[in-house]
Amino acid sequence: MEALEGVRVDVLGRKGTLGQFSKEFGKLAPQERAAAGKALNAAKDALESAFEARKHSFDTEALNARLGSEWIDLTLPAPGARPGSLHPVTQVQMELEDLFTSLGFAVLDGPEVETEYHNFDALNIPASHPARDMQDTFWLTDSNLLRTHTSPVQVRGMERLGPPLRMIAPGRVFRNEEVDASHEHTFYQVEGMMVDRNVSVAHMLYFMKTLLSAIFRREVTIRLRPGYFPFVEPGFELDIQCLICGGPGCPVCKQSGWVELMPCGLVHPNVLRMSGIDPDEWGGFAFGLGLTRLAMMRYGIDDIRLFESGDLRFLRQF
């Protein structure tokens, strides 16, 4: 194509060969000029049409080459919809819901945008309480907040259903966290609560053990440490031995061999009272379980950031 254009400029161009002939016209005798002009025009027409014909054949060749290389067979069957899969957190959540439903618990839902009252005050965390600093909160401009735990659903459950009450509340929670392999700003928890007469720590341990052996499908080693949470008294931290490294230490268990799995305890009398339940008649236990962390332990995932990454290479494994 380029060579052809070069030839066109050389021959038909303003300074081309054909033009040079016109300049010679002055040297001809007047009677010869008409015939020479005619011959020159005929030559010019012939050259131009030869040029157009060649150009057209080059264009056709280029188009055919492109069609050949980009050709698709429209008669082949379409690849079809790619089957999706449930997110690992969803799978663990559904199993937990099945398990607790079979134990007589209701599955409750609550808003992700919460009032300060439900997220803190009603859980015995007053405005000046240092416990509020333990949770880095995303505050909204209307003084509501993104819930920092699923515990406000306990409050909503007690307010709406009253005692006796058995409930779990799975859901998404938010913390203003420095994100690393074991911390995310968005993750999932399950809140559990039972309010009845004569509820003790023994009941709580029974449910915790049933829960963990069902989820991990094996015996897990647990330990109970005293823990401080304003909404329970007494309060505990329930840890399980790290299922990723089995004890020696890894990034997920922060080299300790143990993973903090859930805070739990007997419901603080103030919490019951604030939701209109008489603590002299009723008692209860409550626990908060890191659903995301549970999925990490269950599937041996060592980086929490994968869960919210949307990376299909990760998701397709489940």
Residue ranges in contact with Zn ion by CB under 5 A: 242, 244-245, 250, 253
Closest C-alpha among 145, 284, 276, 269 to residue 201:
284
Whose Cβ is closer to Zn ion: residue 122's or residue 238's?
238
Residue nearest to Zn ion (CB): 242
Whose Cβ is closer to Zn ion: residue 186's or residue 241's?
241
Name residue, tokens 């903090």: 260
DSSP E strand boundaries for 249-316: 258-267, 283-290
Chain centre distance of CA 185: 12
Whose Cβ is closer to Zn ion: residue 215's or residue 297's?
297
For 115, the token pair is 């009032």
State the nearest-atom distance from the C-beta of 300 to Zn ion, in Å.
Answer: 10
**Measured between alpha carbons, how far is 2 from 95 in angstroms, rounded to an integer?**
69
State the nearest-atom distance from the C-beta of 90 to Zn ion, in Å.
Answer: 25
Closest C-alpha among 206, 172, 216, 175 to residue 191:
172
Whose Cβ is closer to Zn ion: residue 131's or residue 250's?
250
State the nearest-atom distance from the C-beta of 222 to Zn ion, in Å.
Answer: 15
**Measured between alpha carbons, how far is 295 from 290 in angstroms, rounded to an integer?**
9
DSSP run (H or E) holding 236? strand 232-241
State the nearest-atom distance from the C-beta of 315 to Zn ion, in Å.
Answer: 24
The answer to whether 264 and 206 are in contact (CB under 8 A) is: no
Whose Cβ is closer to Zn ion: residue 207's or residue 258's?
258
Closest C-alpha among 296, 312, 316 to residue 184:
296
State the nearest-atom distance from the C-beta of 180 to Zn ion, in Å.
Answer: 15
Contacts of 15-20 with CB under 8 Å at 24 or more apart are 18/43, 18/44, 18/47
Whose Cβ is closer to Zn ion: residue 111's or residue 249's?
249
State the nearest-atom distance from the C-beta of 208 to Zn ion, in Å.
Answer: 20
Whose Cβ is closer to Zn ion: residue 259's or residue 277's?
259
For 125, the token pair is 């965390």
State the nearest-atom distance from the C-beta of 127 to Zn ion, in Å.
Answer: 38
